[in-house]
Structure 1
Amino acid sequence: MRLVFTSLASHGHLYPLLPLAVAARGAGHDVVFATAEDFHPVLEKAGLRAERAGLTIYQAFASQYAGDPAQRRREASDEEMAEVIGQVFGRVLPERFVADLGVLFERERPDLVIYEVGNSGGTFAAMKAGIPAMGHGFGRVSKDGLMTEIRGALDEYAAELGIAGGDRPSWGNPFVDICPPSVQSPEFVARARRLPLRPVGWSDSGDLPAGVVGHERPLVYLTLGTTPMSQAHVLGTAITGLAALDVDVLVATGPSVDVAALGEVPANVRLEGWVPQSELLPHVDLVVHHGGSGTTMGAFSAGVPQLVLPQGADQFTNAEAVAAAGVGERLLGDAVTADAVRDHARRLLADSTVADAVRVLAAEVAGMPSPEEVAGQLPDYV
């Protein structure tokens, strides 16, 4: 069977699809993965055939701004930012993916298209070509405020294409759902044609930092993700709070934080630009993070308590779900102080009730179908 996978060119959007794509290739299917060229090296390392489609998210924002997109995003008001985000994810990215995927589909003639649900251009292109399609989630289905702007732009573009009806974000297609049902949106679980899939972390291969395996003191992992939402001052505040505890702190600064702006860090803090997160999580005792879907799902799977410091987008609803499930806590806005981070982290490291809830959720994840099992079901959806 010929399969085309497609996602936005972003770690948080592309990585969740890789386990199923690799499993499908292992099952003997002809697999192509279409996204912007910046992520082709990742796909090639995974042993997948990469094809060019779409723009990077940075390029999409650059098309809406004169000058440096990151600087313009920092200067824009909340209202201006919401409108631009709506256009980028509801028009600019889908429009380019529709154009590029249309050419690819004509050449490859796939039997099934599996599109990451943030990439609505994938389902629009498949619907235009009359090819069966399946959505693939990257976490909990969110109804954050920005989705209103995105949905408005998407609906307008869909109407221009002659596409109507279908629930968002699946557009009426089957949906590969990597979120455990107990923390997924109840409304979505009730109405969607869900195909559960165990969230399997994916990281570029690499060695774990020294001291991670067999550490003696509690190990706290701190990350604010890979997007420009990452804020050095929030990271610095969290470092100060965590360093006050009798723990070791491993910080993944990511590509968006100027490490020099953090200054000198305490002796029990280690800064790393990148870590193989999926390999790291089973070894840590607490994750302090921004609420990105990849980190949230990874912590669910690894059975690790979470302290969530959301910065934007679906991170707030992820933080809410973590708190509601009893597997962690959240700090919002001005409540993110060094003292608050210290106190919440101390409590989470010692709370047996949280530890019990974490184990229950990890067992739920372990009971979900594997990528290999789901790959075996894909022919049923053609």
Structure 2
Amino acid sequence: MLPLLPLANAAERAGHTVGLLSGRGAAAIVPSMEVFEVGPTIYEAIAETGRRLGGDQDGTKPGPGAVELFGAVRLDGVVDEAVEAARRFAPDLVVHDTVDTMGPLIAAVLGVPLAEHRITGPMPEELLQAIADRARAEHSARGVARPAPIAVVDPYPDALLTEAERDDTPGRLPLRPEPHSTSDAGRPLPEPDGPVAAVTLGTSVQNAAAMGSLVRSIASSGVSVLATVEPGALDVDDSVRHMVHEVGFVPLARLLPGVDVVVSAGGSGTLLAALALGKPQVIRPFIADQPWNARRAADRGVAVEIEDPASAGAAVRQVIDDPSYSQRAEAIAKELVDLDDADRVLKVILDRL
């Protein structure tokens, strides 16, 4: 959801009425907007996918699990409720993320134009087609076909892609990435002396053991840590306790500007926010598109990818001590400034309606 918010915020600034439709729990993420909660939480949907397919096919990795999660579990038994919520809202435009199948279905039933909003880099076409095929039964049951989008909004920059991956899709609108922000100023953040690392696993990865290992390793390397966990959540030695600051959930627009390196799971929101601010990164990927993101960032020399969270300290030191990582990240940030912001992209989309 978070990668879509810059466009939603731009629509509100322009005087339009914006509603977000997602599963249970979504309203807590964006309390300032109208949210329609329809269907299971993402964690419930993942658990159901694992129950259906068994093993590690729970939808958190590309493959049959992702097809089942987005093409079926997300829709099963809740399509009519979602369509009715949308009908009452009466949208003039539906914007959906690339793997979401509910948005295209709503647009088809209501006869409303559709725009696609990408949330990551290029994904295998066969995977996206399989997800769409899995959802086709819901379209057929209602006598509609999945509509073609009038625009494809893409915040994933060419600077992270190979020449072969770069996309000339008709209607594609490159969008300048921007860190998630809110109007709430929140509590002041610590300002430690010396180098500082922001450590976050984003909103998708729930792994307390990995977070603890990352933080302990980084603090032991002599780098202060701003960790996005609630105070008291981390078990760290007294010898490095003064290096660790548990700051809770902080929008990236507030968290990242004052740090020297960003340590994350490599979710697209964190990856692109760090690049927009010219911050080098250390990435320990876990699920979904994170391994692809980590590989692309490492290939471009703006990040170090690690497998063992306990090696984060050495990787952070490598990134801090070698100025080439910061230089490359800052160069990409300068390129991104030239892309259209969300206000301009929104205007182009509305001109196409």
Shared fold per TM-score greater than 0.5: yes
Conservation of the 8 A alpha-carbon contact between 2:266 and 2:291: yes
TM-score, length of structure 2 as denominator length: 0.84
2:335 is aligned to 364
2:71 is aligned to 90
2:180 is the alignment partner of 1:202: yes
Conservation of the 8 A alpha-carbon contact between 2:114 and 2:149: no
**Gap change, CA 1:138 and 1:374, over 3 Å in 2:** same
Aligned positions, number: 343
Conservation of the 8 A alpha-carbon contact between 1:132 and 1:381: no
Higher relative helix content: 1
- In the TM superposition, residue 325 of structure 1 has moved relative to its aligned partner by 1.5
**Gap change, CA 1:173 and 1:329, over 3 Å in 2:** farther
The letter of the residue matching 1:28 is G
Conservation of the 8 A alpha-carbon contact between 1:224 and 1:254: no
2:350 is aligned to 379
1:325 is aligned to 300
Partners of 1:207 and 1:109 lie apart in 2 by 34
Q: What pairs up with 1:99-138 in 2 under 5 angstroms?
A: 99-138=80-119
Conservation of the 8 A alpha-carbon contact between 1:287 and 1:307: yes
Partners of 2:294 and 2:146 lie apart in 1 by 31
Partners of 1:203 and 1:96 lie apart in 2 by 34
Tell me which of 15, 25, 34 is aligned to 2:12: 25
Conservation of the 8 A alpha-carbon contact between 1:98 and 1:122: no
Tell me which of 234, 238, 247 is aligned to 2:214: 238
Moved more, 119-128 or 314-323: 119-128
2:249 is the alignment partner of 1:274: yes
Q: Report Cα offsets for 1:135-194 as digits up to 9, x if no partner.
A: 1122323349xx84x75353132255247788xxxx655211111122147436133531
2:15 is the alignment partner of 1:34: no
- In the TM superposition, residue 309 of structure 1 has moved relative to its aligned partner by 0.5
Conservation of the 8 A alpha-carbon contact between 2:101 and 2:135: no
Tell me which of 48, 51, 56 is aligned to 2:36: 51
Q: Report Cα offsets for 1:29-70 as digits up to 9, x if no partner.
A: 23222233522354442xx3333434321232354567xxxx
Partners of 2:288 and 2:279 lie apart in 1 by 23
The letter of the residue matching 2:172 is R
Moved more, 100-109 or 24-33: 100-109
The letter of the residue matching 1:217 is G
2:265 is the alignment partner of 1:290: yes
Partners of 2:113 and 2:212 lie apart in 1 by 47
The letter of the residue matching 1:17 is L
2:105 is the alignment partner of 1:139: no
* Residue aligned with 1:179, SS: coil
**Gap change, CA 1:25 and 1:273, over 3 Å in 2:** closer
TM-score, length of structure 1 as denominator length: 0.79
Q: What pairs up with 1:295-374 in 2 under 5 angstroms?
A: 295-332=270-307, 336=308, 338=310, 340-374=311-345
Partners of 1:25 and 1:376 lie apart in 2 by 12
Q: What root-mean-square deviation, in Å, do the aligned CA atoms of Structure 1 and Structure 2 show?
A: 3.1
Partners of 1:15 and 1:222 lie apart in 2 by 18
Conservation of the 8 A alpha-carbon contact between 2:23 and 2:41: yes
Tell me which of 226, 239, 248 is aligned to 1:250: 226
**Gap change, CA 1:173 and 1:184, over 3 Å in 2:** farther
- In the TM superposition, residue 291 of structure 1 has moved relative to its aligned partner by 0.6
* Residue aligned with 2:103, SS: helix
Percent identity, aligned pairs only, is 29
- In the TM superposition, residue 358 of structure 1 has moved relative to its aligned partner by 0.8
- In the TM superposition, residue 106 of structure 1 has moved relative to its aligned partner by 3.2
Conservation of the 8 A alpha-carbon contact between 2:47 and 2:58: no
Conservation of the 8 A alpha-carbon contact between 2:278 and 2:333: yes
2:190 is aligned to 211
The letter of the residue matching 2:15 is G
**Gap change, CA 1:115 and 1:349, over 3 Å in 2:** same
Conservation of the 8 A alpha-carbon contact between 2:284 and 2:309: no
Tell me which of 134, 141, 145 is aligned to 1:156: 134
* Residue aligned with 1:161, SS: helix
**Gap change, CA 1:357 and 1:38, over 3 Å in 2:** same
Conservation of the 8 A alpha-carbon contact between 1:97 and 1:122: no
**Gap change, CA 1:325 and 1:208, over 3 Å in 2:** farther
Moved more, 357-366 or 110-119: 110-119
**Gap change, CA 1:363 and 1:28, over 3 Å in 2:** same
**Gap change, CA 1:252 and 1:32, over 3 Å in 2:** closer
- In the TM superposition, residue 101 of structure 1 has moved relative to its aligned partner by 3.5
**Gap change, CA 1:272 and 1:343, over 3 Å in 2:** same
* Residue aligned with 2:206, SS: coil
